[in-house]
A and B are shown apart, each in its own frame.
Chain A
Amino acid sequence: MLIPHPLLGLRDAQEFTYLGDARLIERPTSGDEADLAEYVFQRDNPAGLHRELWFHEQGDRSWLVVTRNTLTHEILGAELARDVALARKEGTA
């Protein structure tokens, strides 16, 4: 798999480590134990499009949000996780 890094172009997925669902960016701040358990343990685990976090460990050490089809492994795009998180912050502010 090749990941289209927004700054570095196409990079081999082997340069990256995988964390999981991009919703892990949305860490709950309510302090509620049930919310945190849901955040840590429960996943949508979709068959089809999946937004997920990849870390460019063997590269520029940036976090990316990659959109990938879990049925075909086709990669449809990648954004800097930083941009995704900032946009989300602006959206809620």
Chain B
Amino acid sequence: MKFSGFRVFAEALRGHKGWKPLWRDPAPQSEYDVIIVGGGGHGLATAFYLAEVHGIRKVAVLEKGWLGSGNIGRNTTIIRSNYLLPGNQPFYEFSMKLWEGLEQAINFNAMVSQRGILNLYHSDGQRDAYRRRGNAMHLTGAGAELLDQDAVRRMYPWLNFENARFPIKGGLLQRRAGTARHDGVAWGYARAADLRGVDIIQNCEVTGFRIENGRVQGVETNRGTIGAKKVGVAVAGSSSRVMAQAGLRLPIESHVLQAFVTEGLKPAIDGVITFGAGHFYVSQSDKGGLVFGGDIDGYNSYAQRGNLPVVEDVLEGGMALMPRIGRARLLRSWAGLMDMSMDGSPIIDRTPVDGLYLNAGWCYGGFKATPASGYAFAHLLATDTPHETATAYRLDRFARGYVIDEKGVGAQPNLH
């Protein structure tokens, strides 16, 4: 079933009775070429690119809950490629390019909207840091513009420019950045992978790995043992728990990040804005809600639920940036599990167990990376070599002294 404008029109005439489920609900087979553990955005994208780019179609995606129940359905939907370090920026720019062609590639409306991201600066030092970052972005063709205060005023005249403590002096603008419909991304990748023969198996929890002579043979699940030549794990905040079943310790702590949405409002913010003095980022969804977030709570957690001090902190950031947000009523807040790595950058690599591969450590920036993460992980699973944009994301980089620490805060996950 191919989606198109004509199809929507034809279904409207037939009372929308011709739509079918977007993917099958198959029982697990006894053996696959590749098993992906984790049916989130990264896992589903990996399965899609395995089938689409590498022709590997005997693939299963095992999801413990329902599809899209984890971070792919919990994030604040921002996509961007405004990183600084050479290990990161080419990868995120590759992801941005995949976003730009995503809807055609998967024939699904993921509502990718390049509405621009504006990172505000509040001091001379911060302006210089953003100038450097903008230049790093230009090296990969990501595009960046450094705006002065007048230019920011023309875009968003209602920001609190005269804040006594943190006046807004200007901002770094990436016009190609924006937002995407997060669960649409999961559904689109799932449908596209399913159409290419991938089995998406929900309510199937991996409870152990079958490892013989240092090589993975398959996985144990609550729906029986499933054999596989290769197993790729993409389970975000649960990475340490799942990989412990293979006897591995990871350079990761799981933390909780909260997000918020207000009641639906008339169009108020047409782009994405980040506050440079505190940690606050905001955009407006197509339904009208202001979607925003801030820092992680800061302590190890698997609760998928945060505490009130950070709620207060985030809302204070919002009030400092745009006082008019105080008139909006908060509709909902929620939280997800972040796989905070020791340098704030991800891992896409083989593991000491042959045939077992790891995709983890996305901290709270995994959504924007979804296409490139899937592409690079599929490349690694299919060819046993890292994708050219992901060569720095090695598991052994910590011990070898090649950390990719964007913020420069060291091995302290709650500060990344």
A contact set with B: CB distance below 8 Å: 1, 13-14, 18-21, 33-34, 37-38, 40-47, 50, 52, 68, 70-73
Quick check: is B7 within 8 A (CB to CB) of the other chain? no
> Which residues of the partner chain B approach A14 to less than 8 Å between Cβ atoms?
309
- For A14, give the chain B residue with the smallest CB separation: B309
* Contact across chains for B251 and A73 when beta carbons are under 8 A apart: no
A72-B250 contact given A18-B298, A20-B413, CB 8 Å threshold: no
State how many angstroms separate the Cβ of A72 from the closest Cβ of chain B. 6
* Contact across chains for B251 and A52 when beta carbons are under 8 A apart: no
- For B298, give the chain A residue with the smallest CB separation: A18
State how many angstroms separate the Cβ of B118 from the closest Cβ of chain A. 31
* Contact across chains for B414 and A18 when beta carbons are under 8 A apart: yes
* Contact across chains for A43 and B252 when beta carbons are under 8 A apart: yes
Quick check: is B241 within 8 A (CB to CB) of the other chain? yes
- For A17, give the chain B residue with the smallest CB separation: B298
> Which residues of the partner chain A approach B412 to less than 8 Å between Cβ atoms?
19-20
> Which residues of the partner chain A approach B300 to less than 8 Å between Cβ atoms?
20-21, 45, 50, 52, 70
Quick check: is B129 within 8 A (CB to CB) of the other chain? no
State how many angstroms separate the Cβ of A19 from the closest Cβ of chain B. 8
Quick check: is B299 within 8 A (CB to CB) of the other chain? yes
Q: CA separation between A22 and B126, bound complex, in Å? A: 35
* Contact across chains for B309 and A47 when beta carbons are under 8 A apart: no
Quick check: is B119 within 8 A (CB to CB) of the other chain? no
State how many angstroms separate the Cβ of A73 from the closest Cβ of chain B. 6
Select A73's contact among B244, B301, B342, B398, beta carbons within 8 Å.
B301
* Contact across chains for B249 and A44 when beta carbons are under 8 A apart: yes
> Which residues of the partner chain B approach A21 to less than 8 Å between Cβ atoms?
300
> Which residues of the partner chain A approach B250 to less than 8 Å between Cβ atoms?
42-43, 45
Quick check: is B245 within 8 A (CB to CB) of the other chain? no
Select B253's contact among A20, A38, A72, beta carbons within 8 Å.
A20
A42-B241 contact given A20-B413, A34-B399, CB 8 Å threshold: no
Select B301's contact among A19, A37, A38, A70, beta carbons within 8 Å.
A70
B contact set with A: CB distance below 8 Å: 240-241, 244, 249-254, 298-303, 305, 307, 309, 342, 398-399, 411-414
* Contact across chains for B399 and A72 when beta carbons are under 8 A apart: no
Select B303's contact among A19, A41, A52, A70, beta carbons within 8 Å.
A70
> Which residues of the partner chain A approach B301 to less than 8 Å between Cβ atoms?
70, 73
* Contact across chains for B342 and A41 when beta carbons are under 8 A apart: yes
Identify whether the interface residues of A are mostly helix, strand, loop, or mixed. mixed
* Contact across chains for A73 and B303 when beta carbons are under 8 A apart: yes
- For B238, give the chain A residue with the smallest CB separation: A47
* Contact across chains for A18 and B299 when beta carbons are under 8 A apart: yes
* Contact across chains for B309 and A43 when beta carbons are under 8 A apart: no
A–B complex contacts, Cβ < 8 Å, 25 sampled: A13-B309, A14-B309, A18-B299, A18-B414, A20-B300, A20-B414, A38-B399, A40-B342, A40-B398, A41-B399, A42-B250, A43-B249, A43-B251, A43-B253, A44-B240, A45-B240, A45-B252, A45-B254, A47-B254, A47-B302, A68-B299, A71-B303, A73-B301, A73-B305, A73-B307
Q: CA separation between A68 and B303, bound complex, in Å? A: 12
Q: CA separation between A45 and B248, bound complex, in Å? A: 11
Q: CA separation between A51 and B372, bound complex, in Å? A: 36
> Which residues of the partner chain B approach A19 to less than 8 Å between Cβ atoms?
412
> Which residues of the partner chain A approach B244 to less than 8 Å between Cβ atoms?
44
* Contact across chains for A70 and B254 when beta carbons are under 8 A apart: yes
> Which residues of the partner chain B approach A18 to less than 8 Å between Cβ atoms?
298-299, 414
By Cβ-Cβ distance, the 5 closest A-B pairs, closest first, are: A45-B240, A37-B399, A41-B398, A41-B251, A47-B302
Q: CA separation between A42 and B347, bound complex, in Å? A: 14
Q: CA separation between A50 and B399, bound complex, in Å? A: 24
Select A52's contact among B240, B254, B299, B307, beta carbons within 8 Å.
B299
- For A19, give the chain B residue with the smallest CB separation: B412
> Which residues of the partner chain A approach B414 to less than 8 Å between Cβ atoms?
18, 20
Q: CA separation between A20 and B252, bound complex, in Å? A: 11
> Which residues of the partner chain B approach A71 to less than 8 Å between Cβ atoms?
302-303
State how many angstroms separate the Cβ of B362 from the closest Cβ of chain A. 15
> Which residues of the partner chain A approach B309 to less than 8 Å between Cβ atoms?
13-14
Q: Which of B253, B254, B305 has the most CB of A within 10 A?
A: B253
Q: CA separation between A16 and B331, bound complex, in Å? A: 30
Q: CA separation between A73 and B252, bound complex, in Å? A: 19
- For A54, give the chain B residue with the smallest CB separation: B299
State how many angstroms separate the Cβ of B110 from the closest Cβ of chain A. 32
> Which residues of the partner chain B approach A40 to less than 8 Å between Cβ atoms?
342, 398, 411
Told that A43-B253, A47-B254 touch, could you supply 13 new A-B pairs with CB distance under 8 A? A13-B307, A13-B309, A20-B300, A21-B300, A37-B399, A41-B251, A41-B398, A43-B250, A44-B244, A45-B300, A70-B301, A70-B302, A73-B305
